[in-house]
């Protein structure tokens, strides 16, 4: 709690900002004071410091720490993203998607109460945001960004799609099947750099297009931007003869899960008896799995199949299944519990297989961050041009969010702590309030010193 204390010395009056706090060392309440200057007008809190211009009354008290932290983080660690965002006036919207967590129509309200209005100039009223998104989603701008941002993935990529259900009247919105439901949707394709655990590329496709049809076009678009995918890690949705033939033709190595409705899957499960022997055992964390690998012919090419048994998962799945189907169980359904079949273009060592495949969880986490932390859904756009710009903003925000998460851990909690760092805006100067212990620690993690004052 703060208040202003006035002291009169001779015929002059001086002002001090007094802050009350609890002294943990002395275990009692205490106060600390900060000199504000000689009083010019007590009624309007107008002061002047020695050797400085007159300090006018504060105009605003704004949230400071959260936006300042993100801006300094981007400046020092993500120059490519930061420079592009500043050049194209996208920085305030990126900050808002990470900090605001509400629809774009409220962006102006957030902007008015945050230091971003001074540090990240831009247009933030809802009507002009829509106009901005149309221009920002231009293909030329995207290519400009990718030229500066894209780097060859050293250890390959993970790729997946997610459904974006919506009721928007667009040609892209089509009936699609996902997560055991049928809904009107657009699909988002996201590519992750596996080594850097960083979003690499995105595109969107109509909801009615199956994942198997999206892979070839995605690889082709990346190749035109100078990116050779290397090893691609994919889920079962991308499994098809056409995709596998295409990747062999393009010399793209892959590892993907085989869907349960394929004959090659059935054949491997039927041959699984007796595979849980010590020579097939592989340690994964604190778990033991059993892996049996072999060669096969598929879609006119030699592939490598990997039958994976997780005994712990088999026990859980078998228990749940039998509790429901004691009297009407299907023998094959019983047999397949706890098994997974993977296919690769090259042989893979048993102890590397599971960690390699599960790197695709990076892309699943990225989708989770987009939907839960950046409020990707619900979509509230009215044409495809605005949609493209909006998804581009989400993509850039996701890049920033995931980099921050890697460095400081819990992004949401950290930004809540930083949001409590306020500043007071005067006519020509911004005065930053004292940092708490936790706020200091967060800025120390990214090696940033917060100034006491800033010019406007």
Query: Model confidence over 386-434: pLDDT tens digits?
Result: 888 888 999 999 999 999 999 998 888 999 999 999 999 987 889 999 9
pLDDT digits (tens, 9 = 90+) for 128-142: 888 898 899 899 999
Looking at the predicted structure, is the pLDDT value of residue 44 above 70? no
pLDDT of 43 reads 67
Residues 215, 197: Cα–Cα separation, whole Å: 20
pLDDT of 205 reads 79
Is the backbone of residue 8 left (phi > 0), alpha (psi -120 to 50) or beta? Answer: beta
pLDDT band, residue 57 (cuts 50/70/90): low
Tell me the two tokens of residue 237.
């949705």
Q: What is the 3-state secondary structure (H, E, C) of 97-158?
A: HHHCCCCHHHHHHHHHCECHHHHCCCCCCHHHHHHHHHHHCCHHHHHHHHHHHCCCCCCCEE
**pTM score, two decimals?**
0.75
For β-strands 54-55 and 339-344, DSSP reports them as unpaired
């Amino acid at each position: 709690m703060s208040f202003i204390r006035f002291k009169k010395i001779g015929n002059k009056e001086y002002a001090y900002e007094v802050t009350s706090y609890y002294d943990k060392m002395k275990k009692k309440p205490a106060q600390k004071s900060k000199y504000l200057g000689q009083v010019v007008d007590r009624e309007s809190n107008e002061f002047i410091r020695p050797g400085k211009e007159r300090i006018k009354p504060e105009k605003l008290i704004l949230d400071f720490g959260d936006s300042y932290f993100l801006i300094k983080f981007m400046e020092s660690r993500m120059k490519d993203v930061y420079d592009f965002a500043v050049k194209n006036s996208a920085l305030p919207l990126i900050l808002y998607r990470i900090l605001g967590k509400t629809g774009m129509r409220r962006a102006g309200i957030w902007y008015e109460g945050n230091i971003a209005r001074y540090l990240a100039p831009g247009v933030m009223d809802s009507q002009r945001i829509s106009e901005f998104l149309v221009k920002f989603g231009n293909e030329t701008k995207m290519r400009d960004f990718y030229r500066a941002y894209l780097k060859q993935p050293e250890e390959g990529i993970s790729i997946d799609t997610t459904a974006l259900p919506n009721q928007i009247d667009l040609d892209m919105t089509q009936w699609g099947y996902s997560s055991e439901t049928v809904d009107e949707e657009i699909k988002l394709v996201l590519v992750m750099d596996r080594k850097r655990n960083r979003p690499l590329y995105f595109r969107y496709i109509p909801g009615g297009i199956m994942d198997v049809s999206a892979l070839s076009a995605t690889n082709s678009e990346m190749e035109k931007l100078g990116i050779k995918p290397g090893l691609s890690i994919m889920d079962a949705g991308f499994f098809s003869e056409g995709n596998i033939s295409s990747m062999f033709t393009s010399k793209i190595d892959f590892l993907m899960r085989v869907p349960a409705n394929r004959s090659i899957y059935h054949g491997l499960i039927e041959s699984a008896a007796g595979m849980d022997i010590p020579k097939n055992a592989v340690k994964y964390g604190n778990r033991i799995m059993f892996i049996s690998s072999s060669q096969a012919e598929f879609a006119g090419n030699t592939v490598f199949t990997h039958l994976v048994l997780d005994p712990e998962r088999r026990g859980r799945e078998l228990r749940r299944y039998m509790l429901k189907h004691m009297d009407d169980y299907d023998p094959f359904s019983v047999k397949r519990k706890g098994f997974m079949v993977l296919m690769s273009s090259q042989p893979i060592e048993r102890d590397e297989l599971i960690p390699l495949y599960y790197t695709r969880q990076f892309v699943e986490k990225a989708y989770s961050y987009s939907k839960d932390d950046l409020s990707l859904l619900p979509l509230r756009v009215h044409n495809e041009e605005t949609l493209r710009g909006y998804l581009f903003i989400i993509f850039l925000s996701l890049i920033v969010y995931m980099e921050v998460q890697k460095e400081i851990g819990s992004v949401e909690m950290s930004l809540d702590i930083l949001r409590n760092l306020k500043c007071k805006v005067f006519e020509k100067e911004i005065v930053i309030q004292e940092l708490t212990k936790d706020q200091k620690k967060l800025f120390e993690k990214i090696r940033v010193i917060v100034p006491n004052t800033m010019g406007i």
